[in-house]
Structure 1
Amino acid sequence: MTATAAVALLLTACSGEESAETDAASTASASETSSATEASASESSSSETSASETSAPAGEMEEVEVGESVEDPELGNTVEVTKIVRDFASEDFANIAEDGGEIVLVEIDAKAGDEFSGGVNGPFKLRADGTDSSSTSIVDDELEAAGMTPFDGPSRGEEATGWLAFQVNTRADSYEFVYTRLAAKVIGSDKTFPKEEWTIELP
C-alpha cells in the first residue's frame, strides 16, 4: 500500500439534531401619591439596572483542561481533547438551558495520518447515560464572536485545532467524548476498515 492510496469513507447521513425560542384621581393628594409611586418605581428600576450591569457577563465561561487523546492505528489519525466548557451561555439558544439541557463545548486537536485521504472529520458525539448527542454548528457564530475557532477537520497529513459544540437536551453530571471512524475502503484494492469508535472520559 503506497502513500498515494486513498480511502473512500462509507458515509451515512447523520442528522437529528434537535433543535429546539391605575388610573390616578384628579386631586392634588392623589397626584402627590402618584408622583411618590413613580419615584419609587424609578428607584427600583435603577437598582435592577445597576445589579444587571455588575453581574457576570453572559459570555464568561470556565475552560477545564482535559489533555486526553485517542489514536486510530490503522489510518494514523489522532484526536486529543484539550479542553471542555460546560453550560455555554448562548443568547440565541437560551431555551436549551431553560428546558433542562445545556450546550457543551469541546476543544480538540486532531492530526490526520499521511497515508490515506479522508482526514479527520468524525463523526464526533457526546455520550451520557447511553444517549448520544452529535456535534452541531448552531452556535458557530457565537463561538467566533467569543474568539473561539469552530473545528474544521484536517486533511491528510495536516493538523487542526478547534471547538465542537454539542446540544444536550437533558443535562448530565458527566460525559464521554466519542470519536467514530466510519467504515472505509481503500480505493483500487480489497482492503477495508470496519467502523470503530474511541471514547474519552470528560471531567
Structure 2
Amino acid sequence: MTTTTARLTRRGALGALGALGVLGLTACGGSGSVTTGGEGRGTTEPAEKGTGGSDDGGATPAPSEDETSDAAEGASAGAGPSAELPVGAELRDEALGDTITIVSVLRDVATERQARAVERGGEVIYVQVAATPGTQYGGSITPSDFHINPGQPDEDNTTLTLEPEITAAGLTAFDSAPRRDGGNPSGWIALVAEKRKDTYTAAYIRPEAKVLGKDTVIPEFRGEFTIPAA
C-alpha cells in the first residue's frame, strides 16, 4: 500500500471536521498529493501514476508525434466499436461533495496499444465521465480512480496510455477535475478487461483519508456501476 499526503483547505466552517484553516489528509493508495498556500484552495502536485491495463507501473510519458500517429492508425484499424451505450449512473461522494456521472460507454474499441490483450480474449472499453467536484477541499478527481472488476483478481484501473487513441478517435480524454476549479469537466477514459464478459462491474474509488493531527478519518468512497452488454 502506498501512502499519499494531501493538504486541503475549505472556505467557511468545516462542519463535521470541526476545524478551520489547512487540513492534512493521508490517503492509502492515492495517486497524487495536494498542497495549499495562504487562504486559497489546494493546488495539485501529481505523483507518479501507473499506466493501468497490462502496462507496467511508473510515470506516463507524453506521447511523441510517432506514437500519436501510431495511435491514430490503431484507432482506425479493425472492427469499429459498438454503438454508444447509455449508462446514466450518478455517484455521490458526500464526504467531499463530489458527483461523478457515468454517461455512456463504447465497447469492443479497436486498439493498437492493447492489441495483445484483445488477442488473448480481452476488450478495450471507453467510458464517458462527467464530474462535478466539490468546492470544500483541494485535490482532483482523476482517471486513475476508475476501476474495472473491482475486488476481483483481474481488477485494473484506467489505462492512461490509451489517451492518444481516444483523441485519435475524435473524442476528448478525461484528464482530471480539480476541486479548486469547480465546473463540470467531462471526457472519456479507457478500461481494459483481461477477459471479455457480457457485462462488467466497474467503480469509482476514492481512497480513505485521515486528517493529519486529528483522529478524524474520511472513509473510502466506492461507487459502483454496470457496463452494459453490447
Question: What is the 5 A alignment of 1:157-196?
Answer: 157-186=182-211, 189-196=214-221
CA–CA separation in structure 2 for the residues paired with 1:159 and 1:106: 16
Q: By how many angstroms is 1:70 displaced?
A: 0.8
**Contact preservation (8 Å) 2:131, 2:177:** yes
1:126 aligns with 2:143: no
TM-score, length-normalised on structure 1? 0.71
Identify the residue that residue 93 of structure 1 maps to in structure 2: 114
Q: Which runs of 5+ in 1 are unaligned?
A: 21-55
How many Å apart are 1:163 and its aligned residue? 0.9
How far is 1:189 from its partner? 4.6
Q: Which of 166, 190, 198 does residue 143 from structure 1 map onto?
A: 166
Structure 2: segments with no counterpart, 5+ residues: 1-8, 12-20, 32-48, 57-75
Query: Kindly, what percent of the aligned residue pairs are identical?
Result: 28
* 1:18 lines up with 2:41 in the alignment: no
Change (3 A) 1:120 1:7: farther
1:87-141 C-alpha deviation (Å, 9 max, x unpaired):
1101333222211111111111011101111221252101179342211112111
Cross-structure match for 1:66: 87
- TM-score w.r.t. the length of structure 2 is 0.64
8 A Cα contact 2:173 2:189, kept in partner: yes
Aligned 8 A contact 2:150 2:202 in 1: no
Closer, same or farther: CA 9–177 of 1 in aligned 2, 3 Å:
farther
CA 128–87 in structure 1, closer or farther in 2 if over 3 Å, else same = farther
Higher helix share: 1
